Amino acid sequence: MNTSVSSFNKLQVPTGLLDAQAYELFSVIFLFALVIPITVFGLVSNVVNIVIFLKIGRDDPVSISFLALSVSDLTYLLILAFTSVSNGLVLYDVTGTTSLTPLVYYVIWYALIFHKTSALITTYTSVARCCCVVIALKFRHFFTLKRTYIVLVAIFLIGIGLHVPPIATQELTWSRYRVSRGINKSSVLVSGFTLKRLAGFRESKSVHDTLNNNALLYTCVAISFVCLLALVNALRASATFRQASTVVTSTSASSSSSSHDHTPRMTSPINTQTPPSSKLVQSEKEKTSHGALNGKEIQVIKAVTLVCAIFLLSNVPVILNSLARLAVPDFDLGRRFHYLFIVCSTTGTFCGYFSAAINIVVYFQFNSRYRDCLTSFISGKTGGSKKK
């Protein structure tokens, strides 16, 4: 059975805890104070990310993963920017008798593709770095450049495939129809998009909500959380080790200096035995060369850890919104809490905006090659792009 969606009329939707006027006020503040600035920043920052990572080179699995994440985030923000502009036109009635709301409802499904793709890329990057740090002997050479390319391509294909059923069971058409507007609910002829929900849409949407919005998202969040804990623990262990090494080195130098100052100048058999403190320093050096983290590895771990943390925090509102939708059937579009649902969903979407836009700060802070290349690119010195 086919159904069609034109647009929700403010007077025909139950108000619940939030009425239409409060929703309009929220939309204006949200659009101009938050959405537009973070969207512009995100679009520019991800273009910069893509350019810089391409200049750095494609010989590092972590950089390739961050490049793929930037491409996915940029596409996600482009689609959301289009929907935000369309919502703004509808909000201020710029389009007149032309309806864009069904177009927004349809296009948003494509944004979900790249939202899940970014989640999968972040999870993979976290897992790869976690394994290389925590179980280094087994996975140090497992996540190669070739395998990273294969996994990233597979992730993009999975992201698309998971959303094919709900998209394929919808049809966007241009038509003319009548809607009720105004206090008197007078009939107005409207030209615009109509979104037809074809047979199987309800079932595919139910599967999508269960599989993509719940199982997949919760799995990515759970795995990323475990990896985050492991990476933070690795950073703490490395900091403790470095501090202990500094103390041992300082103690050894002090002991050696004191021994040299107080040794009598007399002929005696040469003592070839290595002092205990020197043995300890040598042992610590051997440990550093075989298993401890060097400065570059620590910076990479910090970058991955922060990207993972941003991903987790940005998905907290989405998860809460999804759980509330399952627990309260009226918390949905066209139901009793229609406007409240839109506000909560929009808040979760903004967290996605923020997550997709802010990564440039992490890359600049903890990636020296990225920082040097960006500085050289801004100053016009392309020769600095190969610095390490």
Across 42-67, average pLDDT: 91
Q: Where are the beta strands (DSSP E) in 182-279?
A: 186-197
Judged on CB neighbours under 10 Å (0-12, 13-18, 19+), 140 is exposed
CA atoms within 13 A on the CB side of 94: 10
Q: Cβ(173)–Cβ(194) under 8 Å? A: yes
Question: What's the pLDDT tens digit per position in 96-154?
Answer: 556 677 888 889 899 999 999 999 999 999 999 888 888 876 777 788 889 999 999 99
Q: What is the mean pLDDT of the chain?
A: 78
Phi, psi of 124 (to 5 degrees): -60, -45
Across 34-47, average pLDDT: 91
Tell me the pLDDT band of 363, cut-offs 50, 70 and 90.
very high
Q: Cβ(273)–Cβ(185) under 8 Å? A: no
Distance from the Cα of residue 279 to its chain's centroid: 46
User: How far is 217 from 226, CA to CA, in rounded Å?
Assistant: 14
Least confident of 15-19, 81-85, 88-92, 296-300: 15-19
pLDDT at residue 137, rounded to an integer: 67
Residue 239 has pLDDT above 70, yes or no: yes
Where is mean pLDDT largest: 74-88, 127-141, 178-192?
A: 74-88
Tell me the pLDDT band of 182, cut-offs 50, 70 and 90.
low
Q: Which of 362 and 183 is assigned the larger pLDDT?
A: 362
pLDDT at residue 252, rounded to an integer: 55
Residue 12 has pLDDT above 80, yes or no: no
Tell me the pLDDT band of 167, cut-offs 50, 70 and 90.
very high
pLDDT at residue 135, rounded to an integer: 81
Task: Locate 304 and state its tokens.
Answer: 């991955």
Task: Locate 280 and state its tokens.
Answer: 């300890």
pLDDT at residue 242, rounded to an integer: 67
Homologous superfamily in CATH for domain 18-252+292-382 = Rhodopsin 7-helix transmembrane proteins (1.20.1070.10)
Residue 50 has pLDDT above 50, yes or no: yes
Q: Which of 218 and 99 is assigned the larger pLDDT?
A: 218
Question: What's the pLDDT tens digit per position in 255-311?
Answer: 555 555 555 544 444 444 444 444 444 444 434 434 456 677 788 888 899 999 999
pLDDT at residue 343, rounded to an integer: 80
Tell me the pLDDT band of 214, cut-offs 50, 70 and 90.
confident
Pairing relationship of beta strands 98-99 and 170-181 according to DSSP bridges: unpaired
pLDDT at residue 271, rounded to an integer: 47
Residue with tokens 């993963």: 65
Encoded amino acid at 114, one letter: F
Q: Which of 80 and 184 is assigned the larger pLDDT?
A: 80
